[in-house]
Chain A
Amino acid sequence: MAEQFVHHLPNKQEADIPKGKLFECRIIDQEMVLPHIRRLILDAQELAQKCIPGQFVHVLCNKFRQFYDPLLRRPFSIHFADPEAGHVSILFDIRGRGTKMLADKTIGDMIDLIGPLGHGFAIPDSWSGSFLLVGGGMGIAPLYFLLRTLEKRFGKEKIKFLLGVKTSNMILYRDQFEKCCSEYLVSTEDGSYGYQGMVTDLLKERVETLDNKLGCLVYACGPMQMLKEVAKICHHHNLNCQISVETKMACGVGACMSCVIKVHDTNLEYRYARACVEGPVFDSNKIKWE
């Protein structure tokens, strides 16, 4: 029987808040991954040394500081960090005015960001079991950094990656993901590639075939409905599962309490936990799913 991994995601509101710093970072590369998806690579020496997979940066998207529309910063999970090169990248979908403005920035432009913020994925120091990563759509953004970190520490043989997308042209960076794991499976909702259906159905099938369920750590990121289903499957099989949630955020540092999700509480029926400081990565069993 494999060792149990009891990770130490915070359970109290006053858990140590990750201390982000304000940075001005230069864009050193900008890639149009798809017409509506961009990847920015930033020169961010200090940030690259500090951040861990699952943490995020809070970015000022406006072109000029004096512009107030859109007003608020936008949170982006760290897609990859290379401490040796001093680079950090973010991958994002152009959804509204903020992301459109960010997408319009070009190489050489400066970006004002706060980071690294939030509690990232808990990764064991040693682990004899396996890792199963489940990504839905843009949920791959933080999972790539996690995948590379796990591969470096434990080797690709222990890692499986399940990706769920609507259609085949949404499969991003397939080669990069594939070479970091022993098994890379894709589900498409329209059946245009790989398994036809939802990634959670694929997960159910894969979990059934696991030799050592207790020795498998599951990490997931994607739409809330997908995460809820992943949590349900993992709970059913007693799998340790960490999920990264995406919520609307104003401050990003725990002050405004806008980004909350409902979690179980020892004293109350539930409480609202701030995703920015108590998450964005949560133990799936701690969330009160509705």
Chain B
Amino acid sequence: MSTASSLAITIAGIHMKNPVIAASGTFGFGKEYSSLVDLNKIGAIITKGTSLEPWVGNPPERIAETAAGMLNSIGLQNDGIENLINEKLPWLSQFDVPVIVNIVGHTIEEYAKVAQRLSETDSVAGLEINISCPNVKHGCIAFGVEPRMTFEVVNAVRKATHLPIIPKLSPNVADIVAIAHAAVDAGADAISLINTLIGTSINAETRTFRLANITGGLSGPAIKPIALRMVWEVAKAVDVPVIGVGGIMTAEDAVEFMLAGASAIQVGTANFVYPNAMIEIIEGLEAYLSRHGFGHISEIVGIVQSPQC
């Protein structure tokens, strides 16, 4: 019989009760879901992307539903780092759950300043560096699509903070492994992947794009095969833990990511549809371990095998 401790893990020095993490941008700052989800039960919360100054975000329409997925062009609307520190983090600190702050910036200096400011608090367990949001015209995306820029931004954040840092990689690249290597070389403690894929949607009746920004980031079950492939490629290439994210809706999805090499997983779009998705995934992971005779969740990480030919 599996126990709760069979799911406990430590990634990048961050201890979690289980490997199920709320993905940035899909769970607000925890408060929004607190009447629907027991925050004490999940592995960690990654807050919505936060910048040095408040960002207004993109004009609506900001979302479009697609086949088994959704496009978003929120544009990283947020109230800035001081608001996070003064209002959001104190509220979150009442819960027994590690808080990882997703940080964004227009420039490398902004990333470093946000990281440095968060280092001064005692309520942050780690930083996820968003170098990959596809929705901001000036910032973020430029850093995550090229190894040299990835290195520079991660390195700058590394120098600015003692906190564990977890770059979140963009799938909108030709060679995800090269980007991952650059992030690790710059001092990443772990890697999250993937962020959303750039896409668009057109309304044939009105003959217009559905998003005001024209393009947006595709998330949801539609992107799972791509995320799974990239997690598998990166996990076997780097020696830091990989956190898998992309279309995880169920415990079976989560298991697949862990078999591919993810040490932990993030749940994103599923939160919108099934607020209890993370709790069900945690329960499902315990059941999986028990059903297959594994003693600890780490035993299934990266053990996928090639099919017999």
Contact = CB atoms under 8 A, between A and B. Distances in A.
B50 to A, nearest CB: 13
In the complex, which range does the number of interface residues on chain B fall in? 35 or more
A247 B220 contact: no
A183 B69 CA distance: 46
Contacts of A249: 63
B208 to A, nearest CB: 14
A114 interface: yes
Given A17-B31, A114-B275, A268-B56, A258 B69 contact: no
B27 interface: yes
A272 B61 CA distance: 12
Contact of A254 (B28, B56, B57): B28
A22 B36 CA distance: 7
Contact of B70 (A13, A72, A252, A254): A72
Contacts of B220: 68, 71
B26 A251 contact: yes
DSSP class of A's interface residues: helix, strand, loop or mixed? loop
Interface in A232-290: 247-262, 268, 270-272, 277
A22 B35 CA distance: 9
Contacts of B199: none
B272 A248 contact: no
Contacts of A251: 26, 28, 32, 271-272
Contacts of B62: 248, 257-260
A133 to B, nearest CB: 26
Contacts of B26: 251, 255-256
Contacts of A71: 65, 68-70, 220-221, 269, 273
B276 A258 contact: no
B79 interface: yes
A8 interface: no
A114 B36 contact: yes
Contacts of A114: 36, 275
B103 to A, nearest CB: 17
A205 interface: no
Contacts of A257: 48, 57, 62, 74, 77
A258 B273 contact: no
B70 A250 contact: yes
Contacts of A256: 25-26, 28, 63, 72, 74, 272
A102 to B, nearest CB: 15
A11 B25 CA distance: 22
Contacts of B269: 71, 250
Interface in B168-191: none
Contacts of A247: 60
A249 B276 CA distance: 18
Contact of A253 (B33, B59, B69, B273): B33
Interface of B: 25-28, 31-36, 48, 56-57, 59-65, 67-70, 72, 74, 77, 79, 87, 220-222, 249, 269, 271-276
14 contacts: A13-B79, A60-B273, A68-B68, A72-B272, A73-B273, A250-B72, A251-B32, A251-B271, A255-B32, A255-B271, A256-B26, A257-B48, A261-B60, A262-B59
